[in-house]
Chains A and B, each alone.
Chain A
Amino acid sequence: MPPPRRFHYFHSAGIRFAATYAGLLAVSGAALAMFLWWATAGLLDRQTEAAIATDALGLSERWADGGLRSLVSAIGDRLAGNVDDDAVYLLADSSYAQVTGNLDRWPPSMRQSGQFYELQVVRGGMRSLARVQAYDLPQGYHLLIGRDVVVRSQLRQLLTDALLWAMVIVCGLAWIGAFVVRDMFRRTLASVSDTAQAIAAGDLTQRVRLTGRGDEFDQLAEVINDMLDRIGRLMEGVRQVSNAIAHDLRTPIARARTRLEDASLHAESPADLHAAIERATADLDGIVAVFQALLRIAEIEAGSRRAAFARVDLSPPLAGVAELYEAVAEARGVTLETNLPDRAPIFGDAALVQQAVANLVDNAVKFSPDGGTATLSVRVRPSGIEIEVTDRGQGIPADERQKATQRFYRGEAARHTPGSGLGLALVQAVAQLHGGTLRLEDAAPGLRAVLNLPQSAGVVTI
């Protein structure tokens, strides 16, 4: 026994899609927050550092110009001129005792020069936060330059809080969105799944509902519906064939059986018996021929021959058909006119097309009146090859034309000619296999059969 499937949520494609959605949303939210942080708080930090660096450059020039006295006076000037009251200076001697500046004492944690520190300072009796950097001066003096950043740090705190909250909201939204995505997914698939279940239960008329938005799901639904239509047609074909076998093959089988039984009961001489057996054998041969034609049509309709498709020139095989039937037509007092191009390239199965055209020409010759003319003409069009076979016989009445391509259908006019009623069905099957069409038209008088075969596969090279 297989183990029971645990926690089906992991098997739900909806959940997977939803989780992906949530994950993507969270990641993009985080990326946005990080960029915002970098662009605001980060910018403030960089501005502070730039200001400190500029200060340091200015003060070092003063030191170079006038030594300690000049530096002390410069610091005094800068402190006096500092409107924002955010500058921090401390000049200390080699023992870190204050020489001048607005800090009372050198921060003990700060020993490394040339590096930024952010630390608590006491300035004018007020505790505050400053971003500072120390510089070593000649003669053991140390200079500390900094900026009060308490306001900026508050701003940064605010920003951090806001972004954290935003992340929480993003996660919440992602969670909700995930559920929405999952539900959409389920709803959309429900239609497909319901249809499939109905089909599996035997109701072949069900189709997937289209939303009419023309989106991917609609495209999928259309493909599925096309597939179901095809299955439906195949089922219909199977039913037609079984009906046909039941009705149309029963008759010749019954005839052969009757002949044999009659002969076995009533034959008076071996010659009679022989004759009856021979006739029954001929009947059976006819039945076998019908079966072979049926199987061939079924084979063509199944589409497996498509694997053998190739680029072929139809001209030689069709010329062969014309040549084969020209003699037959002549023997019947019918003229077969042919009009073939030098080349008629298609992507398909030349032997099948040849057989289809042979069937059409066979019909045309068969139904032509004495002294009449049948024509086989092939035209190369940009869209494909058009094969037209026309006779001057009785034609097929308009209301029968649709049915003429069904298996075993025999028109009133054809009742008394030999044939199985499978010829046009085969032509139709060959046309469909090639993605083409078979059109039957009134040639007034007579029948015009037009077989259109596309130059498919997108390769048109002449």
Chain B
Amino acid sequence: MRILVVEDDKDVAGFVVRGLKEAGHVVEHADNGRDGLFLAVSEPFDAIVLDRMLPGGIDGLKILETLRGQKNATPVLILSALADVNERVKGLKAGGDDYLTKPFAFAELLARVEALSRRGKAEGPTTKLVVEDLEMDLLSRQVKRGGQKIDLQPREFRLLEYLMRHAGQVVTRTMLLEGVWDYHFDPQTNVIDVHVSRLRQKVDKPFPVPLIQTIRNAGYTLRAERA
């Protein structure tokens, strides 16, 4: 993936760029708004990580608005210290696809950027999700694994659907909270783990190969465990 990082803080930028490269992505970096805007409009990217407060007279929201004004639909993750609900809404309204507040864990950033790039590709209306021998029919709302029907509660269904749509990618607990429960705050207890473990009971336990994997310090991913 080709990713543009627009971030003026040297430490944060260096950390993000290094991490994304280690994860196998091609990364361009701009440390001010002007260069960021120039790169964003002149070169194709799969995703943009955008800081909001930037030097150079052009701030992150301005870049975003300009991009969207030019019908450029590159997925944008806004990365900002402005954590207010209002600020978040402002960022998403300006055309941001996701909003992550500083300080952040790199695993969270990586997971969200990779999830974004998937969203960028127009998938068209899918009616069926398939991961390994797990099948989900979105119309009849039926789940089968190895031909065997699995009964799921509505919320378990949505949780599994989210995992399947991001199959092979890491999804963090906050992504699940936001994507499945539409919660934008952090419940103090780790409720997500409980729900995932319930889902595991139904989806993985009766079968020889577990599909839902825990990624330490990050979250979960749906894929067959390969030795």
A positions within 8 Å CB-CB of B: 278, 284-285, 288-289, 292, 295-296, 299, 304-305, 320, 323-325, 327-328, 330-331, 351, 354-355, 358-359, 362, 365-366, 418-420, 423
Contacts and interface: CB of A to CB of B under 8 A. Distances in A.
Contacts of A288: 103
Contacts of B191: 324-325, 327-328
Nearest to B105: A285
A429 B19 CA distance: 39
A290 to B, nearest CB: 11
Nearest to B153: A323
Query: In the complex, which of the residues A299, A305, A328 has the most CB atoms of chain B within 10 Å of its own CB atom?
Result: A328
B188 A420 contact: yes
Contacts of A419: 188
Nearest to B197: A331
Closest 5 CB pairs of A and B: A327-B194, A331-B194, A328-B194, A355-B185, A328-B191
B102 to A, nearest CB: 9
Contacts of B189: 328, 362, 365-366
Interface in B53-97: 83-86
18 contacts: A278-B217, A288-B103, A289-B186, A292-B83, A295-B83, A296-B185, A320-B182, A324-B181, A324-B191, A327-B194, A327-B198, A331-B194, A351-B184, A358-B185, A359-B188, A362-B189, A418-B188, A423-B188
Contacts of B155: 323
Interface of B: 83-86, 103, 105, 155, 181-189, 191, 194-195, 197-198, 217
Binding site of A, secondary structure by majority: helix, strand, loop or mixed? helix
Contacts of A358: 183, 185, 187
Given A324-B191, A419-B188, A299 B84 contact: yes
Contacts of B181: 320, 324
A362 B182 CA distance: 18
Contact of B85 (A284, A299, A328, A331): A299
A295 B88 CA distance: 15
Contacts of A359: 188
Contact of B187 (A278, A323, A330, A362): A362
A166 B94 CA distance: 74
A418 B187 CA distance: 12
A34 to B, nearest CB: 64
A324 B83 contact: no
B201 to A, nearest CB: 11
A362 B188 contact: yes
Nearest to B217: A278
A420 B186 CA distance: 12
Contacts of B195: 324, 327
A292 B186 contact: yes
Given A331-B194, A331-B197, 8 more contacts: A278-B217, A295-B83, A320-B182, A324-B183, A324-B191, A327-B191, A327-B198, A362-B187
A289 B84 CA distance: 14
B164 to A, nearest CB: 20
Contacts of B84: 299
Nearest to B182: A320
A288 B195 CA distance: 25
